[in-house]
Amino acid sequence: MAFAQPYWLVLLVFVPIAGWWSWNATRKRSGMKFSATSAAIMAGPSLRTRLRVLPTVFRVCGLTLAILALARPQDRNVVQERFAEGVDIMMVLDTSTSMRAEDFRPNRFEAAKAVGTEFIQGRTSDRVGLIVFAANAYTQAPLTLDYSFLEKMLAEVEVGVIEDGTAIGTALAMAVNRLKDTEAKSKVVILLTDGQNNRGELSPETAAEVAKTLGVRVYAIGVGQHGEAPFVVDHPFAGRQRRMVPVEIDEEMLQAVADMTGGQYFRATNNRALRDIYDQIGELEKTKIEERIYTDYEERYASLLFPGLALLFLEILLSTTLFRRFP
């Protein structure tokens, strides 16, 4: 509770003075005369004498309530409205065998899953979906606001489940198809791969043209260090062996896809760089939030004023009747 006119509260200083004056006046005019002191002692204080403090109490309480009412007590109810304009995001993840390369810790694929999970956890009002691809592309999770479900679907993705290969064009086209009918003003594809388009009937450039037509931005991420990367292979006789294999990312194609759709291309060479890239994309594709705050005031003076006036009326009534001084 707050007061709209708190300067009236200064008058509360004079309430104890008024109470003291009223009490003294009551004591002086409420005495009874006895012919002998012993008679007064034997009679003891009467009920009227015991209650003579009531007018003073009523006056003090009545004045206090009246002054508080003059200060206009109010209840303030703050209403906060938030309007969020979310972004629709399709995450497209390469699950080809080359994603097992160990130039990331523990490898490219697990690093991509970990950073992708962090990215999902940072969303609030954005719908996010997941497409996985190798030689073919599949929708692992449709656009959803259920981030816990999406995290579970991402955690279940494994390398080697889909036939090996890298169908970037097919995966990108599927992501664009998922976004084409959405009502979101901002539509985004985050494409993560470590290779070149070598499978599928649709080229990445053709899929990018469709994305551009539909207003879908593509952020492409190439993962892999420069030169060669360690890769573990299972030899039928020698067992597990680590070999250095060349890193072959078609950066020219990924850059073209990103430029064509109004997005950006990023190169991640380690875990930290990959995390920073997702952070940059998160900053570029922020949810627009409009906040409105309303303050509603409800006057409470009546709940103090009327009881205060009633107490003052009772004080006057008792002073002029039951506790009236007779000459």
Average pLDDT over residues 261-289: 90
Who's near 126: CB < 8 A, 6+ residues apart?
A: 86, 87, 88, 89, 145, 285, 287
Q: Which residue has the higher pLDDT, 118 or 322?
A: 118
Same domain, 17 and 43: yes
Same domain, 186 and 275: yes
- Return the structure tokens found at 128: 């996010």
Q: What is the mean pLDDT of the chain?
A: 85
Place of tokens 């890239």: 277
Percent helix, percent strand, percent coil in the chain, to nearest 5? 45, 25, 30
Place of tokens 């009633």: 310
Average pLDDT over residues 177-205: 94
Who's near 24: CB < 8 A, 6+ residues apart?
A: none
d(CA 324, CA 303): 30
d(CA 150, CA 143): 9
The per-residue b/e assignment along 276-289, b for 16 or more CB within 10 angstroms, e otherwise, is ebbeebbeebeeee
Same domain, 51 and 109: no
Domains in the chain: how many in total? 2
d(CA 5, CA 230): 76
Give the range of the structural domain holding residue 44, as residue numbers without chain letter: 2-78+297-320
**0.75 exceeded by pTM:** no
CA 256 → CA 195, 266, 320, distances in Å?
15, 12, 98
Is the predicted pLDDT of residue 36 greater than 60, yes or no? no
Same domain, 261 and 211: yes
Query: In one letter, which amino acid is 207?
Result: A
Percent of the chain at pLDDT exceeding 90: 54
Same domain, 182 and 135: yes
Looking at the domain assignment, is residue 291 inside a domain? Answer: no
Q: Could you read off the pLDDT of 8-26 as tens digits, one per residue? A: 888 888 888 877 776 676 6
Q: Which residue has the higher pLDDT, 48 or 140?
A: 140
CA 225 → CA 48, 95, 110, 160, 270, distances in Å?
100, 18, 16, 22, 7
Who's near 64: CB < 8 A, 6+ residues apart?
A: 12, 15, 308
Same domain, 195 and 225: yes
Same domain, 216 and 269: yes
Same domain, 135 and 104: yes
Same domain, 157 and 199: yes
pLDDT given for residue 40 in this prediction: 47
Looking at the domain assignment, is residue 223 inside a domain? Answer: yes
Q: Which residue has the higher pLDDT, 301 or 41?
A: 301
Same domain, 13 and 100: no
- Provide the CATH number for the domain around residue 96: 3.40.50.410
Looking at the domain assignment, is residue 256 inside a domain? Answer: yes
d(CA 184, CA 174): 18
Same domain, 240 and 257: yes
pLDDT given for residue 51 in this prediction: 65
The per-residue b/e assignment along 136-170, b for 16 or more CB within 10 angstroms, e otherwise, is ebebbbebeeebeebbebbeebebeebeebbbbbb
Is the predicted pLDDT of residue 263 greater than 80, yes or no? yes
Looking at the domain assignment, is residue 327 inside a domain? Answer: no
Same domain, 253 and 273: yes
Average pLDDT over residues 144-160: 96
pLDDT given for residue 39 in this prediction: 47
